[in-house]
Chains A and B, each alone.
Chain A
């Protein structure tokens, strides 16, 4: 090797190294931007009330405390001995946690089963044709505010009116877990259908065909041949839909007021600054809401793109 070539190779090498270093610097910079708000929430959740807003802001809690978590997890506010502002409001998250868990789990499960079943029918028998698939997409893309107003009137006026005349008993879906679950099932169905469609399309039809020819019943084929093959896809879809419902805010805010409140609605309650903002407990609530969904999201990372692009991007 001539000295010139060696020098140019070394130059190219150092250039490549410099480029790689620059690349890492940009990526780490963006990583820092992403972590900054999350870090701020985490450390605020360990601060006591005096430290929430200071100048200059403390980047680490001077006196780390678990008070905020105690406050949101106690069953009784008085008993906790935290006589701070806004204690007359029920502060713990147990009620909302239960509401959120029930609503999200039930609605996601129902949506998952209905959607998977339909995705199977679409994939195998082309039920409804392309028009139906696009109509399903459209329901997903309509802004929720356009759905929220009709639903409010439907739940609060029409359903009570109809049940009163037909059944002689006034049933209202407004501010009930059933009402919110029904709605979440409907708005997440399009995601389930499109995601499951992309999973089911990958299962070869010949397998089922063989089973049917050998005399297996339809339900038996579904349960023993198709279901095991798409089970992992169903878990992914369930988690994806669960994450979506867990964070849904506008519809929950609209259709519930005093009795039922999901976690995002609870967090928002303390945002309106009537008694002074309660940054610490809010940060604690935020942390508690966020951790489970971020863990779920990381678990299904590979499939997230499928969910958000309606199964169009597959890897």
Chain B
């Protein structure tokens, strides 16, 4: 009876309880988590970006106090756009990402196809193949820096090959420009093939077996089944793998620092490394701010395309799951 009268007379309740009741209303309650997360984003991402836009219009280096900086219009943007180092680094980033992603997709696809058909030892294969993804990227860089030593194990393993081909057996993996570029691509392929493998494997295990059996009964060859049945059904997985991996590959930074420091010369500077060097070695803060704004615009276009592609495949996947 007392409990009933308690709920019947809200005027008696304390302010805390009234606040609780107000918060529990659906129209309020649904926005609480949103406000929390959005607040974090504004505090940690949006405000710094506004600050960066402001700084990108300043004439300022970090070796002088911030108060002495003055507005200089679009000078920093001009400096970035007319800097050949920036464009070269950007081109190199796409070159690394392109080769790395192609290798990762092809190897990952073949591995997933093979593992999908394996009956015995499947679990072990999957567990081992997924390890590289979990290894800390810096440790991967360190491991490869060890393997790539001129007197290192990789050159020892390649010894039969190099002697038959008549190449200098001591390949300078990290001090020859071309070899250094491929050293970085190889390290990336080693680590991230596991991700494409994983995505394709989960695509394979979602394939409806009835369809493939039906095709087999109707006399389709292995190759026909693959090309006309499996491949179209795997398309969402392929799109997701391409988008996720390309976006990650364009961020390439860790192996560059660990393996080559952008060298020899500038031959392995990716855009992330280039900017990092400009800001942290040369203190060109305003320049860096302008460059990151330009990069943001450029990448936004790519990201929008990527998200659009993924969402299209997602709705397709959802439809398949329902039907």
A interface residues, Cβ below 8 angstroms from B:
20, 23-24, 26-27, 30-31, 33-38, 40-41, 44, 53-57, 59, 114-115, 117-118, 120-121, 124-125, 127-128, 132, 134, 137-139, 141-154, 157-158, 161, 182-183, 185-186, 189, 193, 217-219, 243, 246-247, 249-250, 253-254, 263-264, 267-268, 271-272, 279, 282-283, 286, 289-290, 293-294, 296-298, 301, 304-305, 308-310, 312-315
CB-based contact B128/A134 at 8 Å = no
CB-based contact B276/A293 at 8 Å = no
Please name 24 pairs of A and B residues whose Cβ atoms are closer than 8 Å in the assembled complex, sorted by A. A27-B111, A37-B143, A132-B34, A138-B307, A139-B45, A141-B306, A143-B272, A144-B253, A144-B272, A146-B292, A153-B48, A186-B41, A218-B24, A246-B136, A247-B137, A264-B137, A264-B139, A268-B257, A271-B141, A279-B146, A286-B136, A304-B198, A314-B202, A315-B202
Q: Who on chain A is nearest to B107 by CB?
A: A30
Pairs of residues from A and B, 4 with the lowest C-beta to C-beta distance, nearest first: A297-B134, A150-B48, A154-B48, A247-B136
Render B240-262 as a binary contact track against A, CB cut-off 8 A, 1 for contact: 10001001001101100110010
Which B130-156 residues have C-beta < 8 A from chain A? Answer: 130-147, 149, 151-153, 156
Binds A, one of B8-16, B49-57, B210-218: B49-57
**Among B129, B250, B254, B292, which residue has its beta carbon within 8 angstroms of that of A150?**
B292
User: A interface, by DSSP: helix, strand, loop or mixed?
Assistant: helix
**Among B137, B138, B143, B199, which residue has its beta carbon within 8 angstroms of that of A313?**
B199
- In the bound complex, residues from chain B placing their C-beta under 8 Å from that of A44 are 146
CB-based contact A137/B37 at 8 Å = no
Judged by a CB distance under 8 angstroms, whether B83 is at the interface is: no
Cross-chain pair count, CB within 8 angstroms: 274
- In the bound complex, residues from chain A placing their C-beta under 8 Å from that of B127 are 298, 301
- In the bound complex, residues from chain A placing their C-beta under 8 Å from that of B288 are 149
- In the bound complex, residues from chain A placing their C-beta under 8 Å from that of B264 are none
CB-based contact B41/A144 at 8 Å = no
- In the bound complex, residues from chain A placing their C-beta under 8 Å from that of B24 are 217-219
- In the bound complex, residues from chain A placing their C-beta under 8 Å from that of B141 are 271
CB-based contact B292/A304 at 8 Å = no
Which B54-77 residues have C-beta < 8 A from chain A? Answer: 55, 66
- In the bound complex, residues from chain B placing their C-beta under 8 Å from that of A118 are 33-34, 36-37
Binds A, one of B160-168, B175-183, B224-232, B311-319: B311-319
Render B299-322 as a binary contact track against A, CB cut-off 8 A, 1 for contact: 110011011001101100100000
- In the bound complex, residues from chain A placing their C-beta under 8 Å from that of B153 are 36, 40, 57, 59
**Among B118, B138, B151, which residue has its beta carbon within 8 angstroms of that of A247?**
B138
CB-based contact A264/B37 at 8 Å = no
